[in-house]
């Protein structure tokens, strides 16, 4: 369609390379994957990406919504984060180890374990809207449990298959529990703080999950240290408030301000019905 051609052209005119495009599951839903970049540049590009998509769509007489769940009966919108750790020169992927399980290094697994441990709190930064938790449901490829595994699209963290032509350069992990209602700077900052805490403490992520974690029994999930995500923004905010690592990373002023604003949003939307929530998130994001 002409609108998609123009969106891609506008992104590439800003130096944002589109790596993949395809129609997604929902009616009118499209996916554009953009090339990776260092964390700060990636956050900048996410802002440009969102504004560009909306502006070009509007020019074509269309409305583009990146809301997590713009329609109750359709697939939700994610904004998955692919991440890897590189040396200071940006030449060597420290996440890769050809001898490691699934090609992931010990450093990479420590980082992944840190993200998983802090994920109930991290969700307040990566999925920070009331509408976010309508998307994070089992069996919808959005992830709903603190599980990880190779090419497991129901895990919170997926280890994607690498490119045979560049296994070292393409080794990465994907955090599925993130959406476009997030401030990308806070989301990536929180991800880094959580992962680096895992590196500092040499945490291990446990055994990989090869199936949909929702299909395990409660006892099996407990044995694997897999927990259900918070099911509301209010729950995620309580986890964030109790997480010393993420609260320290935010700093006292920002942490207090963020919690106050988001708790206010939760209180406002909890007094309204589903239609009100969907409408306001559709237009806001």
pLDDT confidence of residue 59: 97
State how far the alpha carbon of 184 is from the alpha carbons of 5, 29, 49, in Å: 25, 22, 11
The backbone torsions φ and ψ at residue 224, rounded to the nearest 5 degrees and listed phi first, read -95, 5
pLDDT confidence of residue 159: 97
Q: What's the average model confidence in pLDDT over 143-162? A: 96
Per residue in 121-147, pLDDT (tens digit) is 999 999 999 999 999 999 988 999 999
Per residue in 50-84, pLDDT (tens digit) is 999 999 999 999 999 999 999 999 999 999 999 99
pLDDT confidence of residue 164: 87
Task: State whether the Cα torsion 197-187-178-78 is positive or negative.
Answer: negative
pLDDT confidence of residue 25: 87
Domain boundaries, the chain: 1-64, 68-284
Are the CB atoms for 282 and 65 separated by under 8 Å?
yes
d(CA 221, CA 82): 25
d(CA 63, CA 57): 6
Q: Which architecture characterizes domain 68-284 according to CATH?
A: 2-Layer Sandwich (3.30)
Whether the predicted model's global pTM rises above the 0.85 cut = yes
d(CA 184, CA 186): 6
3-state secondary structure of 149: strand
Q: What's the average model confidence in pLDDT over 82-102? A: 96
């Amino acid at each position: 369609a002409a609108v998609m051609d123009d969106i891609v052209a506008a992104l590439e005119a800003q130096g944002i390379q589109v790596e993949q495009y395809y129609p997604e599951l929902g009616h009118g839903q499209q996916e554009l994957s953009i090339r990776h970049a260092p964390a700060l540049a990636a956050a900048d590009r996410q802002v440009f990406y969102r504004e560009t998509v909306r502006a070009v769509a509007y020019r074509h007489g269309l409305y583009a919504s990146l809301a997590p769940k713009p329609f109750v009966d359709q697939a939700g919108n994610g904004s998955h984060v692919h991440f890897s750790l590189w040396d200071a020169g940006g030449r060597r992927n420290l996440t890769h180890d050809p001898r490691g399980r699934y090609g992931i290094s010990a450093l990479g697994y420590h980082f992944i374990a840190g993200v998983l441990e802090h994920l109930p709190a991290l969700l307040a930064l990566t999925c920070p809207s009331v509408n976010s938790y309508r998307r994070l449901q089992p069996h919808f490829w959005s992830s709903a449990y603190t599980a990880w595994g190779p090419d497991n699209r129901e895990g919170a963290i997926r280890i994607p298959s690498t490119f045979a032509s560049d296994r070292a350069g393409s080794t990465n992990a994907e955090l599925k529990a993130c959406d476009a209602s997030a401030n990308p700077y806070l989301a990536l900052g929180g991800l880094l703080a959580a992962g680096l805490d895992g590196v500092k403490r040499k945490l291990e992520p446990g055994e990989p999950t090869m199936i949909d974690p929702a299909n395990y029994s409660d006892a099996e999930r407990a044995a694997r240290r897999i927990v259900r995500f918070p099911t509301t923004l209010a729950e995620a905010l309580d986890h964030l408030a109790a997480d010393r690592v993420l609260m320290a990373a935010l700093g006292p002023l920002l942490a207090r301000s963020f919690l106050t604003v988001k708790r206010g949003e939760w209180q406002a939307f909890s007094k309204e019905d589903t239609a009100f929530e969907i409408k306001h998130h559709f237009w806001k994001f």
